[in-house]
Amino acid sequence: MKKTLTILIALLIVLSITSLFIGASSMSLFDLFGPEGGEAWELLWISRIPRLVSIIIAGVSMSIVGLIMQQLTRNKFVSPTTAGTMDSASFGIMVALLLFTSAGALVKMSIAFVFALLGTYIFMAILNRVKYKDTIFIPLVGLMFGGIVSSATTFFAYKYNLIQSMSAWLYGDFSMIMQGRYELLFISVPLVAVSYIYANKFTVAGMGEEFSVNLGLNYKQVVNIGLGLVALVTSVVVLTVGSIPFLGLIIPNLVTIFRGDNLKGNLTYTALLGAVFVLACDILGRLIIYPYEVSIGLTVGVIGSGIFLYLLLRRKTYEQ
Amino acid sequence: MVKVRGVSKQYGGKKVVDNVSLEIAKGKITSFIGPNGAGKSTLMSMISRLIAKDEGEVLIEDREIGQWKSGELAKKISILKQSNHINIRLTVRDLVNFGRFPYSQGRLNKEDEAYVDEAIRYMHLETMQNKFLDELSGGQKQRAFIAMVIAQNTEYVLLDEPLNNLDMNHSVQIMKVLRRLVDELGKTVVLVIHDINFASCYSDYIVALKDGKVVKEGTTDEIIEPSVLREVYDMEIPVQEIGGNKICVYFA
């Protein structure tokens, strides 16, 4: 297992360096240390490094909250994408654009957070009422719920002429990331740290309310903290990068297939794999129609939904 | 000592547990028996604070359970229910580690590790401690969950239908372990059990329930009697002594 970890770290380093040197304006190591290095360094600081950092933070944090969500709901297919969290966050951003036109990023984030949390709780309430707790049926309900929220977003966006500004948030995109426009993402860093501290509690809570009470764990509090983390991270990422579909679903699944369901041991793997996956998708998106680029929402969406389908089919054969 | 005083629970206007009072003796096995819907599981869940009671008191060491901190109570009393057996891919050792959660909040020290090792040895799980729960048979899984409860090291151990879905061999194994828990480690074990012959062979005391009320409680000898069983189960149950145990022959 140590070996896997080493491979992931090596991949992360290689891909990170690659990512720094890909882009519309060419830049090489030679430029950096050549006679006109100043311009190259500027490019690096203003655009390339912020982009790399935001890719890593988004990849790590979305994968980790997906893992937490799956653990708490005891369903492998529940994630910010399949529980309406992401769509609710987008709805919140639309509300923020509509009602608080000149609001700063923090206010927008807070409003997105409130809606993301609300949406997640509505999904959880639906989950508690659904008698037919099939592992595949539940995420479908979540996707439908997300679809309803998202169509409401589109409706209001059309009505109030916001569709152009909104579409920026409907698809995740790293090409607009620049110094001064992504720092909000750093909020996710302490949140990831909190998930390490709560890892064991999330695992116990994932075993059910009665199991938790037997061990003296405050079940409701732990679930609320977990869902709060999920909503906060999702709204921060949606606001700065846009929605990256299926990320929080496929990465944790790939990890738990090999490592089982003990959250504590899975966090680091999930974080690394998430970062590596988003980096790889981003590099692919930047190369495929170079010098233009395909947005990350699309690349991850296509690759991710493919893996999602594979996981669904695999699950079926596994259960029978 | 666990004292139950006038405890009731209602679901949709129907009293599932109706004004039950009883005492559970320390260092003994007490079994709750009775027909389906007698309120055995509900009563056990209320004693272990898994569900709230509508009326009455449950005293553990003379303190009402509502006044205990849940974390402290988790070091005093543990409960294992069949519904706890969810599908989660944990290794046996990880699961048993969680038994130490009330003491360590998940960060195990040397002492915790020692308890875990001991519990695994006690349940003969050494060779499969690194296997995932979903790779085990029903009997092995049940042993893993009991090992977790042993690691939790509580004075009172409550088990709701621990023999559910187990074959005869595994059932006997589990009951022998529970007996050893009482005889060797001085635990107090309370069981909800359907097979009255297992109750007869392994318990010290039996509480017979019906329609949410205690019909009769007493030593195993006093309860495994045709007259008592007739009242509880509404059928004739002849009792014969075989090898020093009272066996109920109710099959034909």
pLDDT digit string, tens, across residues B200-225 = 999 999 999 999 999 999 999 999 99
- Kindly state the tokens that stand for A4: 């896997």
Q: Measured between alpha carbons, how far is residue B34 from residues A12, B17, B169, B192 in Å?
A: 62, 13, 24, 9
Average pLDDT, chain B: 91
Distance CA A84, CA A148 (A): 9
pLDDT at A237 exceeding the cut of 70: yes
Picking from A74, A213, A218, the nearest residue to B50 by CB comes out as A213
What are the pLDDT digits (tens) for A34-61?
A: 666 677 788 888 888 899 999 999 999 9
Q: What is the rounded average pLDDT of the residues A253-272?
A: 89
Closest by CA to B93, choosing from B133, B63, B61, is B133
Distance CA B95, CA B151 (A): 10
Tell me, what's the pLDDT at A133? 67
Tell me, what's the pLDDT at B13? 86
For A156-178, the three-class secondary structure string (H helix, E strand, C coil) is: HHHHCCCHHHHHHHHCCCCCCCC
Picking from A200, A207, A210, the nearest residue to B106 by CB comes out as A200
CATH number at residue A167: 1.10.3470.10
> In angstroms, what is the C-alpha Rg of chain A?
20
Which residues in B have their CB inside 8 Å of a CB on A?
A: 45, 48-50, 69-75, 78-81, 83-84, 86, 88-91, 94, 98-99, 101-102, 105-107, 132, 152
What are the pLDDT digits (tens) for B3-21?
A: 999 999 999 888 999 999 9
For chain A, the distance separating the N- and C-terminal CA atoms, rounded to the nearest angstrom, is 29
Picking from B81, B86, B98, the nearest residue to A215 by CB comes out as B98
Asked if the peptide bond before residue A291 counts as cis, ω within 30 degrees of 0, the response is yes
Tell me, what's the pLDDT at A104? 80
Which range (A118-132, B17-31, B80-94) has the least confidence? Answer: B80-94
A155: distance to nearest CA of chain B, Å? 41
B87: distance to nearest CA of chain A, Å? 9
DSSP calls for B177-229 = HHHHHHHHH--EEEEE-S-HHHHHHH-SEEEEEETTEEEEEEEHHHHSSHHHH
Are residues A258 and A187 in contact, defined by beta-carbon separation less than 8 angstroms?
no
Q: What is the rounded average pLDDT of the residues A125-144?
A: 82
Question: What residues of A are in contact with residue B134 (Cβ under 8 Å)?
Answer: none
Residue from B47, B69, B89 to probe the interface with A (highest A Cβ count within 10 Å):
B89
Question: What residues of A are in contact with residue B101 (Cβ under 8 Å)?
Answer: 200, 204, 215-217
> In angstroms, what is the C-alpha Rg of chain B?
18
B47: distance to nearest CA of chain A, Å? 12
Rounded to 5 degrees, φ, ψ at A19 are: -60, -35
Dihedral sign, Cα of residue A237, residue A240, residue A245, residue A251: negative
Question: What residues of A are in contact with residue B75 (Cβ under 8 Å)?
Answer: 216
Q: What's CA A55's distance to the chain center, in Å?
A: 10
pLDDT at A103 exceeding the cut of 50: yes
CB contact under 8 A, B101 and A206: no
For chain B, the distance separating the N- and C-terminal CA atoms, rounded to the nearest angstrom, is 40
Distance CA A181, CA A183 (A): 6
Q: What letters, b where the CB count within 10 A reaches 16 and e where it falls short, cover A52-91?
A: bbbbbbbbbbbbbbbbbbbbbbbbbbbbbbbbbbbbbbbb
CB contact under 8 A, B98 and A264: no
Task: Give the confidence band of A320 by pLDDT, cuts at 50, 70, 90.
Answer: very low
Distance CA B150, CA A201 (A): 20
Distance CA B240, CA B248 (A): 6
B134: distance to nearest CA of chain A, Å? 10
- Kindly state the tokens that stand for A99: 């009602």
Picking from B75, B89, B107, the nearest residue to A256 by CB comes out as B89
- Domain range enclosing A279: 2-319
Question: What residues of B are in contact with residue A200 (Cβ under 8 Å)?
Answer: 98, 101, 105-107
Which range (A9-13, A225-229, B106-110) has the least confidence? Answer: B106-110
Q: How many domains does chain A have?
A: 1
Rounded to 5 degrees, φ, ψ at A123 are: -60, -45
- Kindly state the tokens that stand for B153: 């090291």
Question: What residues of B are in contact with residue A219 (Cβ under 8 Å)?
Answer: none
Dihedral sign, Cα of residue B195, residue B200, residue B204, residue B210: positive
Of A291 and A214, more confident: A214
Name B241's bridge partners. Answer: B246
Picking from B74, B75, B86, the nearest residue to A207 by CB comes out as B86
Distance CA A244, CA B153 (A): 46
CB contact under 8 A, A211 and B75: no
